[in-house]
Structure 1
């Protein structure tokens, strides 16, 4: 079945205030938002890690909150804790960090409620008709909400090639155990000839799975969860993955967790991809990044597969190669999209409706 993807183009370098006007216009003209009176509406966002400046700003989220309220809904912002150490590793740190980035009730008009509880273990086990999993572990408050709006910032992704709607749902709405299951097939190893024992991987490993052994870093396989933090912090190319089957498994598992997060409310979901300030790496990186390509616009759909497919198509049309190819060409980001379509999450066939 062909899905509709609504598209509003924007000029490159649009000010945040004008971005907010654009997202408001897209919601109004598309008529895509359909909220019942008193619905609890989860608005899934990503506040960006410390030092990140390219994440979607609270001014845009405020417009979405306002539209939900106009239809009688009760909106709340939501997120889950990360596996890696940082400003978002638990609910207390995450909320304080979100407030520092401007996601406050005063600025946005809605409270921020962590979907997975204080430490990331508040969850529901959801039955799905998956190829890898019979059940997936999804953050509790997502499942208790009546409706969901996922606002995603497409970027490249170090392990999946593309981080957009499917990743925002699958990784971003899974509980801690759900995240660990998605990463479980990706076990890294240290290349001893390149290791300088700088201790960064030891410091940032969330499971304390890395020790010093024979003057080099050593990853204990029985404790490793495959989160990729060691790869992200190493500056000497000393951490290696088997990027072939491992990335493919993670993408398929991610798609199945994404499906679990929406399967009980598919008719009450809206998926918005903001194709502005697109960077090589996701907003989880605690660095200031420069955008890789010119801004394109904002997409909205009730189909998460279609909105990600349109993201790749539009970036390819504008730049010759799509966002994932430009960021990490050794990954095939279509694995996650193909798999999501295969398990019934959505359609790769879409009609682009310009507004």
Structure 2
């Protein structure tokens, strides 16, 4: 079986060749221009970063990708879907403010910024995949409606999947509220009674008549009627409708791979991992711990599985930074090598997403590393 090609550039620069030039050189060497961009809508899937967290990808890199796509005739836009939890990216208005605050706006990146699943996370397209866990994936409409998918991924640790890279950004990041609920939980939503103010927004938005107020004017869910769509979580402004965080990490990782498969199904796609500021936790936190390894470089590939595998291999081979979180945990060895992400997040196994991704045809774990 032919190995997937993964292209890599380090962070060494010289006069006349800065990192933005090296990024463009990398993606052109990886044959991004083999994609027919002419007059096509191009979703650049990126994480804008929760304000307060400074480990996200710099908008300067996004601006260069936008320029390349425009030069190739495409119509690019930056996009992400709203979060399931309450925070600065929970709805489109706050999400856009957070993106602008972190430098992702039309003036700096050269294209529009669109929140994929709309104001309250309800603008959704269902994409049929008929896989092990997922029959149809609930994807933010702007991503689902795009002609081409480009992912720009900050490679870092993650509490549920071990690390977050291309597959995590594509799968979890493109899912609507209902999709994120499905990936995170095997259970239906719950009502935290003490937070409920009886505003009835969840009742008005429930398409299945599954929520009522009890005698205390608190919302209660009829689980015989509830289908687990997550709409109540989307509209609740008081953190009363909540997720049951009960999905096993390996199952959640497999679901994320299936959602990533749905996002790029039948579409040209290309993926870029930025292995910089490799913080131990997700960019969804409003803070970022110090990196666990020195900055490594940028990778690009048409294969998100191979790209993530090459990235994790490079991080595991890199020396750690003195004083980082990795020094505070027991080191786990896989195949004779210390595994940094499994060590930091002991209940996770990042291999689950990649192995399942290979099984369902998302990509291949065997890769050829080409240095640019």
Supply the distance in 1 between the matched residues of 2:79 and 2:95 (Cα, whole angstroms).
11
Matches within 5 A, 1:206-245: none
Supply the distance in 2 between the matched residues of 1:126 and 1:29 (Cα, whole angstroms).
32
- The DSSP-based 3-state class of the residue aligned with 2:342 is helix
Supply the distance in 1 between the matched residues of 2:291 and 2:88 (Cα, whole angstroms).
22
Given that residues 115 and 139 in structure 1 are in contact (C-alpha distance below 8 angstroms), is that contact kept between their aligned partners in structure 2? Answer: yes
Q: Which residue of 2 aligns with 1:172?
A: 173
The CA deviation string for residues 82-113 of structure 1, in whole angstroms up to 9 with x for no partner, is 01111100001101111111111111100001
CA RMSD of aligned residues (A): 2.9
The CA deviation string for residues 125-151 of structure 1, in whole angstroms up to 9 with x for no partner, is 111131112211111111211111100
Q: Which residue of 2 aligns with 1:126?
A: 127
Supply the distance in 1 between the matched residues of 2:163 and 2:188 (Cα, whole angstroms).
20
Residue 185 of structure 1, CA deviation: 2.8
Residue 115 of structure 1, CA deviation: 1.0
Supply the distance in 2 between the matched residues of 1:312 and 1:322 (Cα, whole angstroms).
9
Q: Which residue of 2 aligns with 1:236?
A: none
Specify which structure has the bigger relative contact order, considering alpha-carbon pairs within 8 angstroms and separated by 6 or more residues: 1
Given that residues 49 and 87 in structure 1 are in contact (C-alpha distance below 8 angstroms), is that contact kept between their aligned partners in structure 2? Answer: yes
Supply the distance in 2 between the matched residues of 1:11 and 1:163 (Cα, whole angstroms).
25
Q: Which residue of 2 aligns with 1:83?
A: 84
Residue 289 of structure 1, CA deviation: 2.5
Residue 248 of structure 1, CA deviation: 1.2
Q: Which residue of 1 aligns with 2:205?
A: none
Q: Which residue of 1 aligns with 2:160?
A: 159
**TM-score of the superposition, structure 1-length normalised?**
0.80
- 2:357 alignment partner, one of 327, 333, 340: 340
Given that residues 279 and 288 in structure 2 are in contact (C-alpha distance below 8 angstroms), is that contact kept between their aligned partners in structure 1? Answer: no
Residue 30 of structure 1, CA deviation: 2.7
Q: Do structure 1's residue 48 and structure 2's residue 26 form an aligned pair?
A: no
- The DSSP-based 3-state class of the residue aligned with 1:348 is coil
For residues 154 and 186 of structure 1, do their structure 2 counterparts lie closer, same or farther at Cα, with a shift above 3 Å needed? farther
Q: Which residue of 2 aligns with 1:275?
A: 275
Supply the distance in 1 between the matched residues of 2:245 and 2:57 (Cα, whole angstroms).
30
For residues 313 and 187 of structure 1, do their structure 2 counterparts lie closer, same or farther at Cα, with a shift above 3 Å needed? farther
For residues 56 and 345 of structure 1, do their structure 2 counterparts lie closer, same or farther at Cα, with a shift above 3 Å needed? same
**TM-score of the superposition, structure 2-length normalised?**
0.77
Q: Which residue of 1 aligns with 2:309?
A: 309
Residue 312 of structure 1, CA deviation: 1.2
For residues 85 and 110 of structure 1, do their structure 2 counterparts lie closer, same or farther at Cα, with a shift above 3 Å needed? same
Supply the distance in 1 between the matched residues of 2:142 and 2:259 (Cα, whole angstroms).
15
- 1:253 alignment partner, one of 252, 255, 279: 255
- Count residues with an aligned counterpart: 310
Given that residues 5 and 310 in structure 1 are in contact (C-alpha distance below 8 angstroms), is that contact kept between their aligned partners in structure 2? Answer: yes
Q: Which residue of 2 aligns with 1:213?
A: none
Supply the distance in 1 between the matched residues of 2:41 and 2:254 (Cα, whole angstroms).
29
Q: Which residue of 1 aligns with 2:21?
A: 21
Given that residues 170 and 255 in structure 1 are in contact (C-alpha distance below 8 angstroms), is that contact kept between their aligned partners in structure 2? Answer: yes
Q: Which residue of 2 aligns with 1:264?
A: 266
Matches within 5 A, 1:105-124: 105-124=106-125
